[in-house]
């Protein structure tokens, strides 16, 4: 599957989840030389320290597993103020060594749930923060960090990584 195919698949799955449950959990699909992993990362949007911790841990997981690409799907808000009604969107970001893509779809109604037309972002509209998450070269990970990552992303860990392939 191409990055675009994965992004379209992820936004479709997330739309169904929002229709059923009202809110989507951020999900990462990470491609590595040993296969793909799916990781759900629940955090409180009103607590930036939780978001920063998730980004750091995902970045370290990708370095550990030598990730070659990832797709992140989140339900979020446009702009800086997360309390504005009507600006809620599904956002899918896809990053590889050679590609940087984004896909946004507005949530236009809540009772019943409805969505606007998906809109592709230009590569320069994808925040550099996402691009920096993908490992760029050889890095070192200590035995202690591998043990910590194994605990966090293991079967019963707080962000269990499910191997897809």
List the chain domain ranges: 3-163
pLDDT at 83: 52
Q: What is the 3-state secondary structure of 49-99?
A: HHHHHHHHHHHHHHHHHCCCEEEEEEEEECCCCCCCCCCEEEEEEEEECCC
The first and second tokens of residue 151, run together, are: 């605990």
Q: What are residue 163's DSSP bridge partners? A: 37
Full pLDDT tens readout for the chain, 165 residues: 899 999 999 999 999 989 887 788 899 999 999 999 999 998 776 777 888 999 999 999 999 999 999 999 998 877 655 555 558 899 999 999 999 999 999 988 878 888 999 999 999 999 999 999 999 877 788 999 999 999 999 999 999 999 996
19 near 26, Cβ under 8 Å? no
pTM: 0.89
């Amino acid at each position: 599957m191409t990055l675009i195919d994965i992004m379209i698949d992820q936004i479709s799955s997330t739309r169904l989840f929002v229709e059923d449950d009202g809110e989507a959990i951020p999900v990462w699909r990470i491609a590595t030389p040993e296969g793909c992993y799916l990781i759900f990362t629940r955090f409180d949007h009103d607590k930036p320290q939780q978001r920063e911790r998730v980004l750091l841990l995902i970045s370290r997981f990708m370095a550990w597993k030598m990730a070659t690409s990832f797709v992140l799907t989140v339900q979020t808000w446009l702009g800086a103020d997360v309390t504005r009604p009507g600006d809620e969107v599904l956002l899918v970001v896809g990053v590889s060594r050679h590609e940087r893509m984004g896909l946004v779809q507005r949530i236009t109604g809540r009772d019943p749930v409805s969505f606007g037309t998906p809109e592709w972002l230009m590569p320069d509209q994808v925040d550099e923060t996402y691009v920096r998450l993908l490992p760029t070269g050889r890095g070192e990970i200590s035995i202690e960090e591998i043990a910590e990552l194994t605990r966090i992303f293991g079967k019963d860990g707080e962000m269990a990584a499910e191997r897809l392939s």
